[in-house]
Structure 1
Amino acid sequence: MSNIVLLNNIEHKNLKVVPVRGKEYGDDDMCVPTCPKEFRSLQAQYPIVFGKNEKTGDYTPLALLGLQEGENLFIENGEWKARYIPLCAECKPFYIGKQSQRDLTASQNWVIHVDLDSPKVSTSEGISLFKEHGGNSEFLMRISKVLGLVQEGVAEVKPFIDLLVEFDLLEPFSAEMTLKNNQQHSLVGFYTINEEKLASLSVNALKKLHDSGFLFDIYMQLASLSQIAALIERKNNLI
């Protein structure tokens, strides 16, 4: 369960966030949402795939962190073992959202929310969100910056997906693997970009993708699939 509320420095003046990473702190996501803006940074460490909402048909780009539900292979000894942490993982347990419409002004559309039920949230241990005599802590200012990047990235997702759908570039993706203990494992339920269809697009179609600014991100997604082997290696190291 979640209890997501608007963060403020009066009700939450004593709120802290535990910086330790671990399953017990809610860091056990198999994958997290991402956006084209992140693909360059992600592709060097994480496979990027697409999830599909079977009810709406909407696709979402995802950074794969594990090979099965409830598994994040980048968490080790309370730390995230990678040079880059996906934005949607870094900002937990914070979210960006709108205030109620009656409170809005043109400069206050987006505000920080926090999940008070997150195991990362505490009043007795961790990093303070607010300074003792007022003002945001450096930690909260960093989170605010990350959430701003998330907001910008979310705006990219629909036009990016719309182009992939327009040119019928998405296809189901699966991977079969044998772990070092001879256990068979399947990675299913995701989508990727069809490289053959991409290569066969017309000059006009490629120009449209190029002009959109998303052609580079498409190639970053395809390049990221080489990181599946690295995920398997991480999994084998835990066996």
Structure 2
Amino acid sequence: MASAPNSQLPLFYNALEPLSSDAHANYRLRPLDKAPFLAQHHAVPVTVDEFSLVQRHLPIVFTVGDDAVPIALMGLNEGVNTFVDDEGALIQNDLYVPAYIRRYPFMLARLRPDAQELSLCFDPTSGAIGAFEEGEALFNGSEPSETTRNVLAFNESFEQAGARTASFMQELRELDLLMEGEVTIQPNDSDRPFVYRGFQMVNEEKLQNLRGDQLRKIHQSGLLPLVYAHLFSLSLIREVFARQAAQGKMPLPTLAPVN
């Protein structure tokens, strides 16, 4: 159900190229009204800065493993996204779109493993950036344009939010609050339930049994409202299930993990 981003390249990215005024002096950024890269993905990473917004629209769970990250579920099975059509156009216009999606095709990355600084890079296969006649210029001569400066600022904010998210996950691990998740949904028209596993969630019993000093600490650190945003969002899993069923994108009922 919940998949971690690919270890070779980040989710959605097919290649990365550093943005350069020498190599890309005449490049432009044109808006895309569709996100075909999103159509076959059921989950996307989210940052803690977004929890309060995401939890109104999408379930927030955590990937499995020691390096777990929070993700928003846009479908309950691999290859199923209930919020975009097959071409990647949004079906629900008022949906909050996570920043991880909105930053594509840009991202900050180290050009070498030993590099200290992050460089603004882009996916050259995206179709959004190139030597087009239309679109926003990325450079004014050798200087970044206002568009590029805004893109850079957005990506820097995203990296800072990522660091806060990593601290949040570390705190969850130290408190041993994560457990294996399981959701069972029994439709009226099916003899067998749909059972979803392969993700983590906060253990509410452990949360309630935290010592007073631990509760004060997580309240002061801002962790507690984030945990409750995650827990409240879990009720939306059934809504995503209903969307998936209405779109005819359901697998056969199974008692095995759906990954």
Tell me if TM exceeds 0.5: yes
Deviation at 1:90, TM superposition (A): 0.9
| Matched length | 231
Residue 225 (str. 1) matches residue 225 (str. 2):
no
Please show how residues 78-97 of structure 1 align to structure 2 within 5 Å: 78-79=89-90, 81=92, 82-97=94-109
Aligned counterparts of 2:170 and 2:113: Cα–Cα separation in 1: 29
Deviation at 1:50, TM superposition (A): 0.4
Counterpart amino acid of residue 163 in structure 2: A
| Partner of residue 190, structure 1 | 199
Corresponding residue for residue 171 of structure 2: 163
Indicate the SS of the match to 2:179. strand
- Closer/same/farther in 2, CA of residues 235 and 5 from structure 1, 3 Å limit: same
Structure 1 residues 69 and 140, CA gap change in structure 2 (3 angstroms): farther
Distance 1:132 1:144, change over 3 A: closer
Give, in whole Å, the separation in 2 of the partners of 1:98 and 1:114: 12
Query: SS of the counterpart of 1:68?
Result: coil
User: What's the secondary structure of 2:197's corresponding residue?
Assistant: strand
Q: Deviations over 1:77-100 (max 9, x none)?
A: 723634421011111121112355
- 1:16 is aligned to 29
Change in CA separation of 1:176 and 1:142 when aligned onto 2, cut-off 3 Å: farther
Q: 1:220 to 1:132 in 2, by over 3 A?
A: same
Q: Aligned pair 1:118/2:133, yes or no?
A: no
Does the 8 Å CA contact 1:34/1:62 hold for their aligned counterparts?
yes
Matches within 5 A, 1:57-136: 57-76=66-85, 78-79=89-90, 81=92, 82-100=94-112, 109-124=117-132, 127-130=135-138, 136=144
Cα shift at 1:163 = 1.6
Report the equivalent of 1:40.
52
The alignment status of 1:150 with 2:162, answered yes or no, reads: no
Q: Deviations over 1:63-118 (max 9, x none)?
A: 111111122222147236344210111111211123559987xxxx3331101133
Kindly indicate whether residue 43 of structure 2 is the aligned counterpart of residue 31 of structure 1: yes
Between the aligned partners of 1:174 and 1:158, the Cα distance in structure 2 is 24
Deviations 1:128-154 (A, max 9, x none): 352676765665444333312210111
SS at match of 2:81: coil
- Residue 27 of structure 2 contacts residue 139 of structure 2 at CA under 8 Å; is this kept in 1? no
Q: Give distance in 2, aligned partners of 1:116 and 1:197.
A: 46
CA shift for structure 1 position 49: 0.5
Which secondary structure state, in structure 2, belongs to the residue aligned with residue 79 of structure 1?
coil
Structure 2 CA distance for aligned equivalents of residues 180 and 129 of structure 1: 54
One-letter amino acid of the counterpart of residue 237, structure 1: A
Q: Aligned pair in 2 of structure 1 residues 150, 143: CA closer, same or farther (>3 Å)? A: same
- Whether the 8 Å CA contact 2:179–2:203 is kept in 1: the answer is yes
Distance 1:80 1:111 in 2: 34
Change (3 A) 1:28 1:21: farther
d(CA) in 2 for partners of 1:209, 1:161: 12
Secondary structure of 2:138's counterpart equals: coil
Return the TM-score normalized by structure 2: 0.76
Q: What per-residue deviation string (whole Å, max 9, x for no partner) do you get for residues 194-225 of structure 1?
A: 11211111101101111222111111111111
Matched with 2:223 is 214
- Structure 2 residue ranges without an equivalent (≥5): 1-12, 249-259
Gaps of 5+ in 1: none
More strand by share: 1
Paired with 2:207 and 2:228, the residues of 1 have a C-alpha distance of 10
Identity fraction in percent: 25
**Structure holding more helix per residue:** 1
Q: Separation in 1 of the partners of 2:145 and 2:90?
A: 22
**Structure 1 residue runs of 4 or more that deviate by more than 6 Å after TM superposition:** 101-104
Cα distance change on mapping 1:203 and 1:233 into 2, 3 Å: same
